[in-house]
Structure 1
Amino acid sequence: MIRDIVFSPLVPLPVLIALAGLVTALVIFAAWRGLSGWALRAVAALGIVAALAGPSLKEETREPLSDIVFLVIDESASQDLADRPAQIMQARAALEARITALPNVELREITLADAPDNQGTLLMTALSEAMADEPRGRLAGAVLLSDGQLHDVDLAPDFPAPVHLMLTGTPEDWDRRLVIESAPSFAIMGEEVTLKLRVEDQGAAPEDMTTSSILISIDGDAPMRFTIPVGRSIDLPLVLPHGGMNVIQFTLPEAEGELTTRNNSAMVQINGVRDRLRVLLVSGEPHNGERTWRNLLKSDPSVDLVHFTILRPPSKQDGVPVTELSLIAFPTRELFMEKVDDFDLIIFDRYKLRGILPASYLDNIARYVEQGGAVLFAAGPDFASADSLYRSPLARIIPATPTGRVIEAPYRPRLTDLGARHPVTEGLGGLQFADDEPAWGRWFRQVELEPEDQAETVMSGIDGRPLLVLDRVGEGRVAVLGSDHAWLWTRGVEGGGPQLELLRRLAHWMMKEPELEEEALTATAEGNTLTITRRSLTEGARSVTVEAPDGTVTEVPMEEVAPGRHMAEVTGGEMGLYRLSEGDQSAVMVLGPSAPREFEETIATGDKLSPVIKARSGGVFALSDGVPRLRLVEEGRVAAGRGWFGITPREAYVTQSTRLTALLPGWLWLVLLAGLSVAAWLREGRR
């Protein structure tokens, strides 16, 4: 039971203070003048002030509360390095024993792992959350068992007691790390791009290791080995080998004695794009569909278009002087012989043999396709005539033979079974299957074609006859559209159709854009989930082989979500490079950062937490020197020294009951004050 004297003034406190001041002044004046009985009157006056102050005796019954000490144990990934797990286990046991041995002290243990979404070690967040569940008046101290590498030091709470750090690791620890300082997200095909990287050593690294080997691999291919300096930024020039996503992996071989190789790798994803797509459009006599091609190609800002139109064949004799036909001669030789390889795509739109382009020019175009070029034939009636381009050296690359018949009849273009799976026509106009009825306008002319055995017919016309035929010739690609009525869709005849989308896809497939490859295995990463897509022209169940960064191989079944498209989702348990394979297709994808934030800095240090600990009178102790002793220190005193750390007892309690009793009853106050006043009067009268 605790007893104490408390006051409950019977008058407002300012009045009581003024009255006390007045009494004090009168007593001092009386004493100075030497008035008789001044001492008794002073006592009586002070007694009146005391009575008005309302003194009472307060009796409390209290139940003492135990002090609380937090032990925050960092079990993030960096704490698994070297002998740190053994240090943590030994220190944890010793601290538990020493803290729990103290009287009236409770231990609260908080264990934290890596934060989600690669946030690293959130040590201060864990301490703040633990504080929120306990009364501040009971907190006697906090002990952090960690390597000191945290990522939320700015969120340190206002802890009301000493905070100490027990540091894992040893002074001899060192680690090597690969840092990508800058890398572009995309690069122009054929142009050199520069990456900046640095190899840095942390901790007590050997002084004689001034260089390091580095392995560079693109899309999981065999790595190339180079030697680079340590501790200095270097520029790495690079030309992307293909369009689309390029995954470049940099790896440092493990050095003897370094803590971990988890930060020895880095991956960069660079999207290879074309600077400008160069297209040569060769038109025959002007017709309604010519503007459709021109508008399509001119509307794409990534396309450079050269349009070559035969307006006046040599056979036309109308008496116009040659000097008045044009200002300059059209550079046909330069286009079709010298500069043809500069084009990504050549389109022959209703062109026929008219003596303008010699056979050598056309043979050069065939050679251009065989070496990787692309040619599209938009066939009109002339394609089935004696002047057809099929009657030229181009015949060896054309995948469909004209029978010589031109059918003039209305029909609605449709997808073939293969076309429902081919990326050029897959889902065209919202169609998912070949037997879906397209709500498209009709065309009214078709050149009858007989496709080569290896050619792919993706659209059909009258009575199922081939309408759009695709083929690969050598390294290049060729397409034949057996009608010149695609422009009817653009004009909206009978509702029109997806003409622009069809021609755009066709042009980009011929220019080998990666997203339109028939056989492809691709993946995208979001969070810790890989979404894998397999596109193929063949049918059948499929499964993808996934190799995780740690070498674990898993076979994952794929679900067919659309004709020719299978998908699967894989939840990765580890961040890094995943290798995917299905049939003859392979791909690589990076899940999360190649080196998690937890491994950016692995050398144990108290520097980050030092301001927080110093402000709370704590200390930093290396566990390699042993676990320090524990002491009790008074509040406000230094709580750390050589070989010891301290906690502050808070002496918190809960009041169970309270009783107030007047210090003197009212009648006794009256008797005492009256007696003093009479005594003072008698003293003055006797004098």
Structure 2
Amino acid sequence: MNTSVIFIPLLPWPIIAALALITALLLGLAVWRGLSGWLFRALGACVVILALLSPRIQQEERQTLSDIAIVVVDNSASQTLGDRAEQTETAFEEIETRLSNLGNTEIRRVDVGDGAGDSGTRVMTALTRALNKEPRSRISGIFLISDGRIHDIENVPDLSAPMHLLLTGEPSDWDRRVVVETAPAFAILDEEVTLTVRIDDTGAVPDGSSLAPLEVSVDGAPPITLDVPVGRSIDIPIRINHTGRNVFQISTPETEGELTERNNIALVQINGVRDRLRVLLVSGEPHPGSRTWRNLLKSDSSVDLVHFTILRPPEKQDGVPVGELSLIAFPTRELFIEKIDDFDLIVFDRYKRRGILPSVYLDNVRRYIEEGGAVLVAAGPDFASADSIFRSPLSEVLPASPTARVIEQGYRPKVSDIGKRHPVTSELGASEQGADWGRWMRQIEVTPVDERGGHVVMDGYENAPLLILDRVGEGRIALMASDHAWLWSRGFEGGGPQLELLRRLAHWMMKEPELEEEMLGAEPVGKDIRMTRRTLADEAAPVTVTSPDGESSEHRLVETAPGVFEGTVEGDEIGLYRMSDGELSALVGLGPVSPREFVDTVSGADWVQPVLDATRGGAKRLSEGMPTIRTVKAGRPANGRGWLGVTPREAYDVKDMKTLVLLPAWLSLLLASGLLLIAWLREGRR
């Protein structure tokens, strides 16, 4: 029970105060004039004022409430390092026992994991939610069991009780990590760009060499190793090898004693773009398709075109030497010997041997292909003649040989069975038999060279090979056994996708990763990873996926389109995933390769210390022993050598309340009247 006196004024407090002031002034005047009844008048006035205040006795039946101690347990990824997880659970059991021994204390456990979207450890957010569920008047203390790496410290709530940090980890912990300071989002092919990288050591770093090995690899290729100084930024010059996404993995080997290797890898994705496509178009006998090829290539502003044209038809024989047919000597030696490697693509359009290009020049073209170049041959009747370029050093790289037959019949080009799976022709948009495309009127009969392994991706007259693609050494070659592709661009009988076909052919010959026949790719889709396997085979091998923690799992892909197999992997963990089917491999980073939890892994109280100081709390490292728990008064220091304090709140609930009026109205009237009567009688006698 608790008894107290309360006032329930009948008039507003300012009015009562004004009445009291006026009364005091009148009484002062009475005293000054020497009136004998002033004392009884003063008592009567006090009774009136007291009656206006309406004093009462209030009795409360109270139930004492227990104090609440909140224990925030950090279960984020960084807490799995070393023996921190074991330290955390042991510390919670100990603090639970010691708080219980204080008596009249309840414990609220708040578990905190990794934040969504690699936002790190959101301790203060979780603490705010927990405090909103409890009466602040009952909170006696807050204990945080963590490594101190909290990523929302700016969201600290208003704390009315001391907060303490029980620090996991060891004073001897240290870690090494790779930091990419600057990296371009895109780069131009064959042009040098720079990555700025640094290796940092944090914590109790052991004595050792000031140099560390740094490995740099692109698209899973064998790495290049450099020895770099620790703690200093270095510039690494790199070149982009292909268009599209280039994945650079920058890592340093795990060193004995460091906390984790998860932050020893950095992944940089640079989009490779081609500055300009340098094309050499070699036109032979003039025909309507020559201008179409030129217009197609000149319509793209990213194409630098050099057009080598022979305007003199072979039937015109007037005895003029070949070397004197041009007013200006054409730089054949410069183009085909000295600068041939500067071209990305060479197109032979109805070209045949006339003595203008010696065999040594064509042999250099063969060498150009084998060393990574690309050649497209658009064959006309000349390809079937005795002067065909097949009867030159190019025969060693051409994927088909002519039979000398020229088919002068109308037909509709169509995608072959293997072409439906090949990325160059699989998405040209034709119906099953190419019925949506216009006819061509000529085809050169060719026989694929089996030992070359080329792929016939389009058929023509009576299913004869029309478009053949092949790889030669490091380069690629395409043979189109017709010179009537220009009919499509003219819209003959509805035309066809000549521009799209040429574009896809050029990109395939430029080794675009998206148009590779055999390709394994992966890309993040939300929290999952979508794998894509393109192959000309009927089936795709299972893909082994290695997660950031080193665990491997096997996944089978499902065919979603001819030659395209897809599958999805649930990304349970942020970091670098590796995919391999035994032949091809791919890398993909889900979120950052080194999540925020593994950027700063060495435990410490520096991030949390300002919050602890503001509440007079303290930080104790668990490896030095569990501190005792004491009670301290509010506003007093709540930590000391080997102990931490909580503030008893002495909160309660009121179960019942009774109120007794001290001065009833009738009694107030009687007392005031009596005192005023006595004062009047006393003054009257005098």
Q: What is the TM-score when the length of structure 2 is the normalising length?
A: 0.92
Partner in structure 1 of residue 443 of structure 2: 446
User: Match of 2:531?
Assistant: 532
Tell me by how many angstroms 1:678 deviates. 0.7
Alignment-derived partner of residue 541 in structure 2: 542
Which string of whole-angstrom CA distances, capped at 9 and with x for unpartnered residues, describes residues 533-560 of structure 1?
2211121353122334444333221111
| 3-state SS of 2:557 partner | strand
Say if 1:195 and 1:444 are closer, same or farther in 2 by CA, change over 3 A. Answer: same
Q: RMSD of the alignment, in Å?
A: 2.8
Q: Which residue of 2 aligns with 1:603?
A: 602
**Match in the other structure for 1:90:** 90
1:343-422 to structure 2, matched below 5 A, reads: 343-422=343-422
Following superposition, the deviation at residue 155 of structure 1 comes to 1.1
Specify the code of the residue in structure 1 equivalent to 2:399.
Answer: P
Matches within 5 A, 1:326-345: 328-345=328-345
The equivalent residue for 1:644 is: 643
Does the CA-based 8 Å contact 2:242-2:512 persist in structure 1? no
Residue identity in the other structure for 2:8: S
Structure 2 residue aligned with 1:585: 584
| Structure 2 SS opposite 1:263 | helix
Name the % identity. Answer: 58
Deviation at 1:72, TM superposition (A): 0.5
**Matched residue, 1:238:** 238
- SS in structure 2 opposite 1:107? strand
**Distance of 1:324 and 1:402 partners within structure 2:** 32
Encode CA deviations 1:166-225: one digit per residue, 9 max, x unaligned.
Answer: 112233322222222222333333333322222222122234542223344444444444
With 208-217 and 139-148 compared, the bigger mean Cα shift is at 208-217
The one-letter amino acid paired with 1:341 is D
Rate the CA distance shift 1:430–1:158 in 2: closer, same or farther, 3 A: farther
Q: Which residue is 1:11 aligned to?
A: 11
- Please report how far the alpha carbon of residue 528 of structure 1 lies from its aligned counterpart in structure 2 after TM superposition: 4.3
Say if 2:144 is the partner of 1:144: yes
Whichever residue aligns with residue 230 of structure 1, its letter is V
Q: Which amino acid aligns with 2:679?
A: A
1:628-655 CA-to-partner distances (Å, cap 9, x unmatched) read 2222223333322333222222233333
Q: Distance in 1 between matches of 2:22 and 2:324?
A: 125
3-state secondary structure, aligned to 2:288: coil
Partner of 1:627: 626
Letter in 2 for 1:332: T
Name the SS for the 1:361 alignment partner.
helix
Distance, in Å, in 2 between the alignment partners of 1:250 and 1:95 is 43
Deviations 1:263-316 (A, max 9, x none): 223233334443332111122355433343233333434332212222346985
SS at 1:227 equivalent: strand
Q: Contact (CA 8 Å) 2:144, 2:166: kept in 1 or not?
A: yes
Alignment of 1:564 with 2:557, yes or no, is no
Aligned to 1:518: 517
Partner SS, residue 131 of structure 2: helix
DSSP-derived class of the 1:428 partner: coil
Deviation at 1:461, TM superposition (A): 1.7
CA distance in structure 2 between the aligned counterparts of 1:112 and 1:19, rounded to whole angstroms? 61
1:243, CA displacement in angstroms?
5.1
| Cα separation, partners in 2 of 1:430 and 1:183, compared to 1, 3 Å | farther
In structure 2, relative to structure 1, the CA distance for the partners of 1:429 and 1:217 (3 Å cut) is same
Shift of residue 574, structure 1, vs aligned partner: 4.1
Counterpart-to-counterpart distance in 2, 1:589 and 1:323: 57
> Is it true that 1:429 corresponds to 2:429 in the alignment?
yes
Could you tell me how far apart the structure 2 residues matched to 1:199 and 1:464 are?
61
- The alpha carbon displacement at 1:329 in A equals 3.1
Residue of structure 2 in register with 1:126 after alignment: 126
Q: For the structure 1 residues 298 and 676, does the alpha-carbon distance in structure 2 shift closer, same or farther, using more than 3 Å as the test? A: farther
Kindly provide the amino acid, as one letter, of the partner of residue 269 in structure 1.
Q
Q: Which amino acid aligns with 2:444?
A: V
Tell me which moved more, 460-469 or 324-333: 324-333
Counterparts of 2:597 and 2:105 in 1: how far apart (Å)?
A: 34
Tell me how far 1:565 sits from its aligned partner: 1.3
Aligned to 2:305: 305
Bigger mean CA deviation after superposition, 184-193 or 64-73:
184-193
Separation (CA, whole Å) in 2 of partners of 1:459 and 1:142: 74
- Look up the match of 1:63: 63
Alpha-carbon distance in 2 for matches of 1:479, 1:225: 38
CA distance in 1 between partners of 2:339 and 2:433 (Å): 44
Q: Which residue of 1 aligns with 2:257?
A: 257
The 3 A distance-change label for structure 1 pair 28 and 363 is same
Shift in Å at residue 106 of structure 1? Answer: 0.7
Q: Which moved more, 1:496-505 or 1:9-18?
A: 9-18
Larger mean Cα displacement after TM superposition, 270-279 or 413-422: 270-279
Q: Is the 8 A contact 1:68 1:108 kept in 2?
A: yes
Unaligned runs of 5+ in 2: none
1:380-405 per-position Cα deviation (integer Å, ceiling 9, x unaligned)? 33333444333444333322233333
Q: What amino acid is aligned across from residue 444 of structure 1 in structure 2?
A: M
Counterpart CA distance in 1 for 2:371 and 2:214 is: 35
What is the CA–CA distance in structure 2 between the aligned matches of 1:436 and 1:679, rounded to whole Å? 127
**1:371–1:206 Cα change, 3 Å:** closer
Structure 1 pair 301–153 and aligned structure 2 pair: CA distance change class (3 A): farther
CA distance in 2, matches of 1:71, 1:436: 71
**1:238 Cα shift?**
2.8
CA contact (8 A) 1:313 1:354 kept: no
Paired position in structure 1 for 2:22:
22
Classify the secondary structure of the residue corresponding to 1:61. Answer: strand
Distance apart, 1:430 and its partner CA: 5.8
Query: In structure 2, how many angstroms separate the alpha carbons of the residues matched to 1:217 and 1:531?
Result: 23
- Secondary structure of 1:356's counterpart equals coil
State the distance in 1 between where 2:6 and 2:292 align. 99
Give me the TM-score of the superposition, normalised by structure 1. 0.92
In 2: Cα distance, 1:459 partner to 1:401 partner: 16
Q: Is the 8 A contact 1:117 1:527 kept in 2?
A: no
Corresponding residue of 2:460: 461
Give the secondary-structure state (helix, strand or coil) at the position aligned to 2:187: strand
Instruction: Tell me, yes or no, if the aligned pair for 2:616 and 2:637 is still in contact at 8 Å.
Output: yes
Amino acid aligned to 2:160: P
Aligned to 2:444, the other structure's residue is in SS state strand
Q: Give 1:41's aligned residue.
A: 41
2:29 partner SS: helix
Matched with 2:99 is 99
Amino acid at match of 2:105: V
CA shift at 1:144, angstroms? 0.6
1:288 aligns with 2:325: no
Relative to structure 1, is the Cα distance of residues 263 and 77 closer, same or farther in structure 2, using a 3 angstrom cutoff?
same
CA contact (8 A) 2:415 2:434 kept: no
Distance 2:582 2:176 in 1: 38
**Residues 314, 355 of structure 1: 8 Å contact kept:** no
By how many angstroms is 1:149 displaced? 0.7
Q: 1:468 to 1:225 in 2, by over 3 A?
A: closer
| Cα 1:34–1:169 shift into 2, 3 Å | farther
Q: Does the aligned pair in 2 maintain the 1:314–1:356 contact within 8 Å? A: no
Q: 1:288 to 1:36 in 2, by over 3 A?
A: farther
One-letter amino acid of the counterpart of residue 165, structure 2:
L
Seen in structure 2, the aligned counterparts of structure 1 residues 259 and 469 have a Cα distance that, compared at 3 Å, is closer
Tell me what 1:484 maps to. 483
Unpaired runs of 5+ in structure 1?
none
Aligned residues of 1:296 and 1:504 also touching (Cα < 8 A): no
Instruction: Choose 309-318 or 350-359, whichever is displaced more.
Output: 309-318
**What's the CA shift for 1:418?**
0.5
Cα distance, 1:55 vs structure 2: 2.4
For the residue of structure 2 that corresponds to 1:346, the secondary structure is: strand
Q: How does 1:208-247 map to 2 (within 5 A)?
A: 208-240=208-240, 244-247=244-247
Aligned-partner residue type, residue 137 of structure 2: G
1:478-536 Cα distance to aligned partner (Å, 9 max, x none): 21212233233333333332221111011111222222111122222345432222211
